[in-house]
Homo-oligomer: A and B are copies of this chain.
Amino acid sequence: MTEVAERPVLDTLDPAGRALLFTEARTANTFADIPVSDEELASIWELARWAPTAANTQPLRVLYVRPGEGRDRLVKFMNEGNQAKTAAAPAVAVLAVDTRFHEHIPTVFPMRPQMKDFFEANEEFREKGGNFNAALQAGYFILAVRALGLAAGPMTGFDAPGLDSEFFPDGRFRSILVVNIGHPGENPWYNRLPRLDHDDVIIWA
C-alpha cells in the first residue's frame, strides 16, 4: 500500500472552525477593555506567514501599534468615521507593502536568485507583484487574527500618504490596510451586509 502513503489525505475544517473564520465571523466595531499581548500579535503572524505568495516573495510588512503615544499618532490619519474605533482598539496592525521586497529574493527563492535583478529592472512588474501579493497576504492576516480568537476590524479609510510619512519616513513601505484587533465589545457588529449571489460570482467552464 505504498501508494496510499504517497498520497496524503487531508482533513476538512470542522464546523466550529468554519464558523470562526468564515461563516459567523464579523468585523468588530467596538472592543472590550481586554489587552492584546505582544505574544498574541506575534502568533497572528506565526500563522499568516505560512500561506503562499508568488515566487515566495512575501512583500507584506506589519506595523503593530499598541495603546499609547504610537496609537495617538496613528488615529489622526484615520478617516473621521474610523477614529473612535481605532482609538479604542487594544491593538492595531498597519499592513504595508515593502516596495523593495525583491531584495529578499536570494533568501526566500534561492533556486532563482536572479529574479531579484529582474524585479529591480522592471518597476511596473515589481509594483504590480508587490501590491498583489501583499493584498493576498492581508487576506491571510485577517483570517489569522480570527484564528487566534480575536476580532478584526479592517479599514481602507485612512490618509495613506500621511500615515506613511509619519511611520515609514524613508518611503520604502506603503500602507495598504489598517486592522483594529481586540476582543469584541458591547454591540460590536452591524447588521451583516449582503453577499453577491453565487450566480453573480461563479462561472462554469
Residues of A within 8 A of B (CB): 3, 6-14, 16-18, 20-23, 25, 27, 32, 38, 41-42, 45-52, 54, 56, 58, 60-66, 70, 73-74, 104, 107-110, 129, 131-133, 135-140, 142-144, 146-152, 154, 156, 167, 176, 183-188, 193-196, 198, 200-205
Contacts and interface: CB of A to CB of B under 8 A. Distances in A.
B201 A62 contact: yes
A10 B149 contact: yes
Nearest to A62: B202
A121 B12 CA distance: 44
A126 B29 CA distance: 25
Contacts of A65: 205
A5 B54 CA distance: 43
A205 B135 CA distance: 22
Nearest to A200: B104
A193 B113 CA distance: 13
A60 B8 contact: no
Nearest to A60: B201
Contact of A52 (B9, B27, B148): B27
Contact of A70 (B20, B107, B188, B205): B205
A195 B48 CA distance: 11
